[in-house]
Amino acid sequence: MGAKRITVVIDTMGSDRGPETIVKGACQALLDSEDLDVCLVGDKDAIEKAIEDNKAPKDRIRVVPTTEVITNFDHPVMALQSKKDSSLVKALTILRDEETCVGLVNAGSTGALLVGSMMFLSKPGERVRPALAAVLPAEKGGFVCLVDTGANIDCLPSMLVQFAHQGSDFMKDMYRIESPKVGLLSNGAEETKGNKLVKETHQMLKEDKSINFVGNIEGTNALSGDCDVLVCDGFAGNQVLKNSEGIARRIITDIVKYSKQTGKPEFMALVQHLMATYDFNSLGGGIVLGVDKPVIKAHGAANESSIRNTVKMLVNLAHNKNIYV
Amino acid sequence: MGAKRITVVIDTMGSDRGPETIVKGACQALLDSEDLDVCLVGDKDAIEKAIEDNKAPKDRIRVVPTTEVITNFDHPVMALQSKKDSSLVKALTILRDEETCVGLVNAGSTGALLVGSMMFLSKPGERVRPALAAVLPAEKGGFVCLVDTGANIDCLPSMLVQFAHQGSDFMKDMYRIESPKVGLLSNGAEETKGNKLVKETHQMLKEDKSINFVGNIEGTNALSGDCDVLVCDGFAGNQVLKNSEGIARRIITDIVKYSKQTGKPEFMALVQHLMATYDFNSLGGGIVLGVDKPVIKAHGAANESSIRNTVKMLVNLAHNKNIYV
């Protein structure tokens, strides 16, 4: 493995903070992994300016200039078909065509990334809908892969079963968990609890011997770590993800206020400690599952350290996959 | 209003901690409100023993002895029909029949309470399904009424519209909000976001001029206070409620650990401060909406102060309603 080099493709365009933040995050990631090269796609001048100010190893950076950008206001399918010189189309093409490319990071339009991933990275004839997963820190330690978090809002039971497999495969590759525990999000732990979708899915998961199904998980324990993969439709998953973010942000804000009111600045160390666990933005991004090569959707407002973490995830995944193969 | 006396009916049976806790909570509530009497229904000996040890005003307590209990293991409809001398059947009968009775508290089976409320407290011919709401502290101050939190798992758009009206009426009565802002839980603030149910409901709420609909609310802002009433199906509402509880409990536990590790006991004051806002158990319970008189489902593990708070809610509601009428 030592001599083999890998490349992560980074679409530098379309994020809230502009290409500079993305490029700087990518440069930081280069310092984490000796065998990593990055391919930066987007506005040439902006990218080169951001690299210049930087002590990153220039020989490990490739710049691919493009002239178009796909934004949140574009229709995903139409934009992918018409904007041939967009950073996303170019980045996906490079990822698909070059064997050493092990993954892609993008902080732009989620819809275009999902559709593009399916168009460029699905096996021909295979029409698996990609899912968007989030990897969140579990209360008992380790991580929970929540799938789906919003790519598939209205789901059939068969789709939830697919999510179970995709999440399970991902957790095997990413964290080398031999037999990931798969839970089904419900409104109670008992088998009889759930809406129509959950009840039907429960029976299918129970009969599926190729995954390690541990039953229903209720909201209180969504991120407890009772399971490695938590399966739900994209509407419910979006609630869990965003509600957790919202409550954590609120409590942390509360502590900052309390610290000021009581005149006890030592509480700020606690705030730092909590931010390290509960600031989901800095932890990485959404992972597109169900496609040939891993694609990560970073938060639109991702900062440098968030981009660095997403690249690190892709590098880890590549390393682990090589070991498995 | 001064001379008029009101009664809250309390089913003392079926809770996790037994009748003693419920009775003591009820006795504490008597000290909060001069015009309140309580009617305690259940095991006579247990109730009288709990009152005896207490400095509560005995002349404001009425004990109604019963010999049967409806538990979580009973089938709600069958139990309500066959256990005629159960504390729940007796309590609901008293609430329905006696004009001075303004509400009921129960910490037993949620299913039986919901079905019983519909059987005893719906207008004849009216087949409105009761909803279970939770009143949670909003980030901006005040409260958010989340409805439904689990009574109605599979919903039609018309049911969500009903929840909007029920929640709106409740917030008017409870907090004297003239025109409560009604939000619809979704996976994005835009009108086009949501699952099939949410999209259809959005259009119906938009056209309903008798409520103050403010649009979709996403998970991050579920409890921010952007709306006074947050409408969703019981599956999604259950996720918001339980997930919020779970994350809050987890962060508070984290702070306790951090306090021990760093040897800084002053953090425990912060924990107390956070518990006062985020310990949803002690804040009250689920409110049954859509029935003639208010019914509160306290947490099965409710403590004395939780029972006291639920009784206080019913007293406030009665006071405000009198003012409105």
pLDDT in tens, A274-300: 988 887 766 667 999 999 999 999 988
Chain CA centroid to CA B29, Å: 16
pLDDT at residue A324 is higher than 50: no
Decide if pLDDT at A180 tops 70.
yes
> Is the confidence at residue A325, as pLDDT, over 50?
no
Q: Count CA atoms closer than 13 A to B73's CA, side-chain side.
A: 1
Residue B31, pLDDT > 50, answer yes
Contact (CB, 8 A) for A282 and A257? no
What is the SS3 assignment for A183? Answer: strand
CA distances from A309 to A102, A114, A297, A299, B125 (A): 15, 20, 12, 12, 60
DSSP state of B301: T
Three-state DSSP class for residue B297: strand
Contacts of A146 in chain B (CB under 8 A): none
| Residue contact A247–B243, C-beta within 8 A | yes
Distance from CA of B244 to the nearest CA of A (A): 6
Interchain contact A196–B (C-beta under 8 A): yes
> Rounded to an integer, what distance in angstroms lies between the CA atom of residue A103 and that of residue A284?
14
Mean pLDDT of B63-78: 95
Indicate the range of A190-204, B144-158, B207-221, B288-302 predicted with least confidence: B288-302
Among A5-19, A74-88, B143-157, B260-274, name the one with the lowest average pLDDT: B260-274
By Cβ distance, the residue of A187, A235, A238 closest to B150 is A187
One-letter identity of residue B24: K
Interface of B with A in 259-278 (CB under 8 A): 262, 264, 266-267, 269-270, 273-274, 277-278
Over residues A251-258, mean pLDDT? 91
Least CB–CB distance from A219: residue in B196, B238, B278: B238
Mean pLDDT of A55-72: 94
Confidence of residue B300 (pLDDT cuts 50, 70, 90): confident
State pLDDT tens for residues B202-217: 999 999 999 999 999 9
The answer to whether residues B246 and A185 touch, using CB atoms and an 8 Å cutoff, is no
Domains of chain B plus CATH, in order, are: 1-128+290-325 (3.40.718.10), 133-285 (3.40.718.10)
pLDDT tens-place string over residues A15-33: 999 999 999 999 999 999 9
Q: Any residues with CB less than 8 A from the CB of A33 and at least 6 apart, and which?
A: A312, A315
pLDDT at B92: 98
How close does chain B come to A199, measured CA to CA in Å? 11
Mean pLDDT across chain A:
92
Distances (CA, A) of A73 to A76, A79, B193, B279: 9, 10, 14, 41
Give Cα separations from B246 to A69, A138, A189, B242, B250 (angstroms).
40, 12, 15, 6, 6
Q: How far apart, in Å, do the first and last CA atoms of chain B sit?
A: 12
Give the residue on B whose Cα is nearest the Cα of A255: B270
The span from the CA of A296 to the CA of A30, in Å, is 17
Tokens representing residue B180 in the block: 């409560």
In B, which residues are within 8 Å of A234 by CB distance?
A: 187
Residue in chain A lying closest to B256 (CA): A270
CB A132 within 8 A of CB A323: no
% of chain A beyond a pLDDT of 70: 95
Tell me if chain B has a CB within 8 Å of the CB of A72.
Answer: no
Give the integer Cα–Cα distance in Å for B188 and B194: 7
Residue identified by tokens 């610290």 is A259
- Section A173-177 average pLDDT: 93
The more confidently predicted of residues A274 and B185 is B185
Contacts of A267 in chain B (CB under 8 A): 267, 270
- Asked if residue B95 has pLDDT above 50, the reply is yes
The length of chain B, given as a count of residues:
325
Q: Is residue A258 over pLDDT 80?
A: yes
A31 contacts chain B (CB < 8 A): no
Give the residue from A139, A235, A281 with the most B CB atoms within 10 Å of its CB, the best one to mutate: A235
In this prediction, residue A212 carries a pLDDT of: 98
pLDDT, position A276? 84
Report the residue of chain A nearest B246, measured CA to CA: A220
ipTM of the complex: 0.91
- Quote the percentage of chain B above a pLDDT of 70: 95
Higher pLDDT, A321 or B252: B252
Size of interface A-B (CB pairs under 8 A): 134
Provide CB contacts within 8 A for A39, sequence distance 6+.
A7, A8, A9, A10, A62, A64, A91, A94, A101
Q: Which of B153, B223, B266 sits opposite A187 (nearest CB)?
A: B153
From the list B223, B239, B258, the residue facing A270 with the nearest CB is B258
Mean predicted confidence (pLDDT) in A152-180: 96
Residues of B in Cβ contact (< 8 Å) with A221:
246
Residue A210 CA, chain-centre distance (Å), reads 24
Residues of A in contact with B279 (CB under 8 A): none
- Give the pLDDT mean for B193-197: 97
Strands A295-298, A101-106: pairing kind: parallel
Task: Quote the pLDDT of residue A165.
Answer: 96
Query: What average pLDDT does range B95-106 have in this prediction?
Result: 96
* pLDDT tier, B259 (very low <50, low <70, confident <90, very high otherwise): confident
State mean pLDDT over A110-125: 89
Residues from chain A contacting residue B239 (CB–CB below 8 Å): 185, 187, 219, 222, 236, 239-240, 243
The shortest CB-CB distance from A246 to any of B220, B234, B277 is to B220
CB A278 within 8 A of CB A138: no
- Number of CB atoms found within 10 A of residue B73's CB: 7
B153 to chain A, closest Cα gap in Å: 6
- Side-chain-side CA neighbours of residue A49 (13 Å): 10
What residues does B104 pair with on adjacent strands?
Answer: B9, B295
Number of CB atoms found within 10 A of residue A223's CB: 25
Distance from CA of B234 to the nearest CA of A (A): 8
Separation CA B246–CA A251 (nearest Å): 13
If pLDDT is split at 50, 70 and 90, which confidence band does B267 have? confident
Which range has the worst mean pLDDT, B2-11, B156-165, B192-201? B2-11
For chain B positions 133-172, those within 8 Å of chain A (CB to CB) are 139, 150, 153-154
User: Tens digit of pLDDT for each residue in B34-63?
Assistant: 999 999 999 999 999 999 978 889 999 999
Mean pLDDT of A293-310: 92
Model pTM score: 0.92
